[in-house]
Amino acid sequence: MGKRPVEVLIETRIERPRRLLEETDLPIGQIAAACGYANRLYLSRPFRAVVGTAPTTFRAQHRAEPE
């Protein structure tokens, strides 16, 4: 795979907050808590490392367009 186990774990943990940011209007702090992070700041660092952008920016860029 070419990745360390901890990197795979972090990527796996970021999948749920990524989906919640795309699919819900929950505040980022609530998403962080629901996914096991102490607060939005503790979510932001690994999220940025995996996704390449901050959660707020990600949400704005990937929000589903209303039909």
CATH superfamily placement of domain 5-62: Homeodomain-like (1.10.10.60)
| pTM of structure | 0.85
Distance between CA 17 and CA 40 in Å, rounded? 11
> Please, which pLDDT band fits residue 48 given cuts at 50, 70 and 90?
very high
Residue 11 parent element (H or E): helix 5-23
> In the chain, what's the furthest Cα-to-Cα distance?
41
Does residue 45 register a pLDDT over 70?
yes
Measure the N-to-C terminal CA separation of the chain; round to a whole number of Å.
39
Average pLDDT, rounded, for the chain: 92
Q: What angle do CA 2, 14, 6 make, to 5 degrees?
A: 40
Answer yes or no: is pLDDT of 61 > 60.
yes
pLDDT for position 64:
57
